Amino acid sequence: MNDLSQTQGQPNIGVVAAGARLCVYSLPEGEVRIAWPARLSPESFEEIQVWLGLVASQMARAAGTKVERKRRRRRPPVMSASGELFPAAAAPPNGGA
């Protein structure tokens, strides 16, 4: 076992190779390891979040349980200067001014 194994319930995060990170979490059944590039774009991070959700679903099936899905909170609409309402993701140009 390497020096990156879990200590008292806390996962260890360390450098694996130049430009990479490794997180190791020890369970009674064995270690769970995730490695990723040290630098990630916001887009890549979003893709990894989706992928980790899929991995969690696979793990839940293996454990005979279900993954609880969090409901995404909707952001309140944005009101333009003229009083029009826009979804937060489609805010009017120049903040509605």
Q: What 3-state class would DSSP assign to 29?
A: coil
How do the domains of the chain map onto residue ranges? 12-63
Each residue of 61-74: pLDDT tens digit?
999 998 777 666 66
Task: Read off the pTM.
Answer: 0.53
Give the residue from 83, 76, 82, 80 showing the smallest Cα distance to 93.
80
Nearest alpha carbon to residue 15 among 31, 29, 35, 33: 35
> Within a 10 A sphere around the Cβ of 24, how many other Cβ atoms?
20
Which residues 6+ apart lie within 8 Å of 2 measured at CB? 24
SS3 of residue 89 by DSSP: helix
Give 97's pLDDT tier (boundaries 50, 70, 90): low
**pLDDT tens-place string over residues 29-73:** 999 999 999 899 999 999 999 999 999 999 999 999 987 776 666
- For the chain, the C-alpha Rg in angstroms (whole number) is 20
Distance CA 91, CA 89 (A): 6
Confidence bin at 5 (pLDDT 50/70/90): very low
